[in-house]
Amino acid sequence: IEALAALMTFKCAVVNVPFGGGKGGLRINPRNYTVDELEEITKRFAIELYNAGCLGPSVDVPAPDYGTGPREMAWIANTYVNLLSDNDPNALACVTGKPPHYGGIQGRNDATGLGVFFGTREMCSDADLMQKYNISTGLR
């Protein structure tokens, strides 16, 4: 988890985004739990993050990672919204990776794969780099 946190810090710093540096999670096998149980576990995790001062749009913004996705992010966001009594208009910004119908961004699930594709395409069109490895330019 520490290595993932460091990697996120570097990735965000390179593109000058003021995020990164935090990682956390639960060590469970989701196959051993029902969807309802996973929801309760996730919501309890969100409550603990909130109580520790580690959840909020201006504090720490969890993102989906291995074993989580839009469903879990929506559960966390919902829990955070329900914990607030002042109806903060930015409350849904407490997590990223929510489903679009819950304030998430359309296309987020495809973004990583598209980034790899575009990065690879640009790299393979660099004649100097491809010549260094004796590879023709372009993708086929």
Catalytic residue (choose from 23, 43, 98, 132) = 23
CA distance 120 to 66: 23
Residues contacting 66, CB < 8 A, separation 6+: none
- The yes-or-no answer on residue 23 being catalytic is yes
Please tell me whether residue 60 adopts helix, strand or coil conformation: strand
CA distance 42 to 26: 9
The residues annotated with a catalytic role in the active site are 23
